[in-house]
């Protein structure tokens, strides 16, 4: 059966207290709506529709950035969840499959939970994902009649008895497009909120003699983000899940709770990530690599057997080759370190290519920025850059070349050459003692004056 997913993302999210639309607030560096779209995509839906309203332009752009094939329908006024779904009626008028409705602010549903819900349509006409709420608060209550779902009552419209029910509506619903839109035509807004409730579809289904049921899933998956504390909870749950998966897949983490991952972080089995490592978007760590404690890795690839950190910062465009080493207080940006290259202490390497086995001594800096333009630095294979060398870009140091420590290298160094670019040392015998004696005498004289 063909499948269409419909993600509701038109609401404003007032309680986020933010200019950013709610569904664009990030979880693990990806907008919440991307998480929902990823779950939808994993079901291999044939049609993927996003309902936008509040700040539609920004939400549409984010939706298309994730899935260029998604369709966007507009809900000009937010008149309720039923009204939001109804906006897709025209888009789906010739669609003969199943519709799965999801909320853009529920980023934690597992694909298998959603697939299980859709599978219920083999035996019922309308399937709802429910959960047993620890604190049912303002959720819609599921009124069951044995195994059958009788109706969903919104909190505002519920009786005292109904409010005592702890089985709640997650907001996810599946039905055939034909059934869903036929039932939606009957939904009115005569309720406490004056809204067209999607949830009323259930009571109408039962009135028509159709069947409805609820599938129960863990409450954690149903978390809806309406405010910042909930956003932080969603982040924590997401992080914990990803860490568990990585550990199960064969990644070593001594203190997984302290490792922060991004939505797209790739860590291959056999890699090690020490405590307190933070990954920004676009990080890949190959098998056998080790990211040591307190490092920050973003937009960077750490090659097999490479060691990064402790206290390293890899910024976007960094490629650390196999068996290369990046040590403490080293920052790289848009830089390639070839196999076995070493930058072990206190360096900045930006807009640079460092050849195989080259060694950058402590304090080496690529001076890549002249205040207006960025320039490149190339260091050849097996070169040895002395400590505290300033490589003033654009500049090339040839293979096997050597720079004397403390040099300011402003012009290219040929292969195998030694470059010395610093003041010549001069020793003045006895001068240090003479100078110190004079200073000490001056200090004694000053004390006497006081």
Which residues bind to ligand UD1, rule: CB under 6 A? Answer: 8-11, 51, 53, 75, 78-81, 83-84, 103-105, 139-140, 152, 154, 168-171, 197-199, 224
Residue with tokens 């040929």: 414
Using the minimum distance from each CB to Mg ion, give the nearer residue, 14 or 244: 14
Six-digit token pair at 308?
Answer: 């990064």
Task: Write the DSSP symbol of residue 386.
Answer: P
Residue with tokens 């199943």: 98
**Active site annotation includes 345:** yes
Six-digit token pair at 436?
Answer: 């110190």
Using the minimum distance from each CB to ligand UD1, give the nearer residue, 137 or 439: 137
Task: Compute the least distance from the CB of residue 61 to ligand UD1, in Å.
Answer: 17
Task: Compute the least distance from the CB of residue 412 to ligand UD1, in Å.
Answer: 59
Tell me the site size for Mg ion, rule CB under 5 A: 1
Task: Compute the least distance from the CB of residue 291 to Mg ion, in Å.
Answer: 38
* Cα dihedral 153, 154, 155, 160 in deg (nearest 10): -20
281: left (phi over 0), alpha (psi -120 to 50) or beta: beta
3-state helix, strand, coil in the chain (%, to 5): 25, 30, 45
Q: Which of 224, 275, 310, 317 binds Mg ion (CB under 5 A)?
A: 224
Task: Compute the least distance from the CB of residue 77 to ligand UD1, in Å.
Answer: 8
Task: Compute the least distance from the CB of residue 230 to Mg ion, in Å.
Answer: 10
Six-digit token pair at 411?
Answer: 């012009």
| Host H or E run for residue 149 | strand 148-153
Choose the contact partner of 104 out of Mg ion, ligand UD1, none; CB within 5 to 8 A by kind.
Answer: ligand UD1
Task: Compute the least distance from the CB of residue 144 to ligand UD1, in Å.
Answer: 15
Region from 130-138, 184-192, 222-230, 250-258 binding Mg ion, contact rule CB under 5 A: 222-230
Query: Minimal CB distance to ligand UD1: which residue?
Result: 140
Choose the contact partner of 154 out of ligand UD1, Mg ion, none; CB within 5 to 8 A by kind.
Answer: ligand UD1
- Cα distances (angstroms) measured from residue 72 to each of 56, 63, 224, 256: 9, 8, 22, 39
Choose the contact partner of 368 out of ligand UD1, Mg ion, none; CB within 5 to 8 A by kind.
Answer: none
Q: What angle do CA 118, 203, 2 make, to 5 degrees?
A: 25
When asked if residue 26 is in the footprint of Mg ion (CB under 5 A), the reply is no
Choose the contact partner of 143 out of ligand UD1, Mg ion, none; CB within 5 to 8 A by kind.
Answer: none
CB 254 within 8 A of CB 275: yes
- Cα distances (angstroms) measured from residue 79 to each of 111, 195, 343: 29, 5, 59
Choose the contact partner of 199 out of Mg ion, ligand UD1, none; CB within 5 to 8 A by kind.
Answer: ligand UD1
Using the minimum distance from each CB to ligand UD1, give the nearer residue, 84 or 284: 84
Choose the contact partner of 10 out of ligand UD1, Mg ion, none; CB within 5 to 8 A by kind.
Answer: ligand UD1
Which one from 54, 150, 345, 375 is the annotated catalytic residue? 345
If one counts every other C-beta atom within 10 angstroms of the C-beta of residue 136, the result is 18
Task: Write the DSSP symbol of residue 218.
Answer: -
- Binding site residues, Mg ion, CB under 5 A: 224
Catalytic residues: 345
């Amino acid at each position: 059966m063909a499948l269409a997913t419909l993600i509701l993302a038109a609401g404003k999210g007032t309680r986020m207290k933010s200019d950013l639309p709610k569904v664009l607030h990030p979880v693990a560096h990806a907008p919440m709506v991307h998480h929902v779209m990823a779950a939808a995509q994993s079901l291999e839906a044939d049609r993927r529709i996003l309902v936008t309203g509040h700040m539609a332009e920004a939400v549409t752009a984010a939706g298309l950035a994730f899935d260029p094939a998604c369709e966007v329908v507009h809900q000009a006024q937010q008149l309720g969840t039923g009204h939001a779904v109804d906006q897709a009626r025209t888009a789906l008028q010739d669609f003969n499959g199943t519709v799965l409705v999801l909320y853009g602010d529920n980023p934690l549903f597992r694909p298998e939970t959603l697939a299980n819900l859709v599978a219920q349509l083999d035996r019922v006409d309308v399937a709802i994902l429910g959960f047993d709420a620890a604190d049912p608060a303002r959720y819609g209550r599921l009124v069951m009649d044995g195994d059958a779902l009788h109706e969903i009552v919104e909190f505002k419209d519920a009786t005292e008895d109904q409010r005592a029910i702890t089985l709640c509506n997650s907001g996810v619903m599946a039905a055939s497009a034909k059934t869903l839109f036929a039932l939606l035509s009957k939904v009115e807004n005569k309720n406490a909120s004056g809204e067209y409730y999607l949830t009323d579809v259930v009571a109408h289904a039962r009135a028509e003699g159709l069947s409805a049921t609820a599938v129960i899933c863990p409450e954690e998956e149903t978390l809806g983000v309406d405010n910042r504390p909930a956003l932080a909870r969603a982040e924590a749950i997401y992080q914990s899940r990803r860490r568990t998966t990585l550990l199960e897949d064969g990644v070593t983490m001594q203190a997984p709770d302290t490792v922060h991952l991004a939505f797209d972080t790739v860590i291959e089995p056999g890699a090690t990530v020490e405590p307190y490592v933070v990954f920004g978007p676009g990080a890949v760590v190959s098998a056998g690599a080790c990211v040591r404690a307190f490092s920050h890795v973003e937009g960077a690839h750490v090659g097999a057997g490479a060691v990064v950190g402790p206290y390293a910062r890899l910024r976007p465009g960094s490629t650390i080759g196999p068996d290369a080493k990046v040590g403490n207080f080293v920052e790289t940006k848009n830089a390639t370190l070839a196999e076995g290259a070493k930058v072990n202490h206190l360096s900045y390497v930006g807009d640079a290519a460092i050849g195989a086995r080259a060694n950058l001594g402590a304090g080496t800096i690529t001076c890549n920025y002249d205040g207006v333009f960025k320039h490149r630095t190339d260091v050849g294979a097996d070169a040895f850059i002395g400590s505290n060398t300033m490589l003033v870009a654009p500049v090339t140091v040839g293979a096997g070349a050597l720079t004397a420590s403390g040099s300011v290298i402003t012009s290219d160094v040929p292969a195998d050459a030694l470059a010395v670019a610093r003041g010549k040392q001069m020793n003045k015998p006895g001068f240090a003692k003479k100078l110190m004696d004079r200073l000490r005498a001056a200090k004694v004289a000053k004390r006497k004056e006081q």
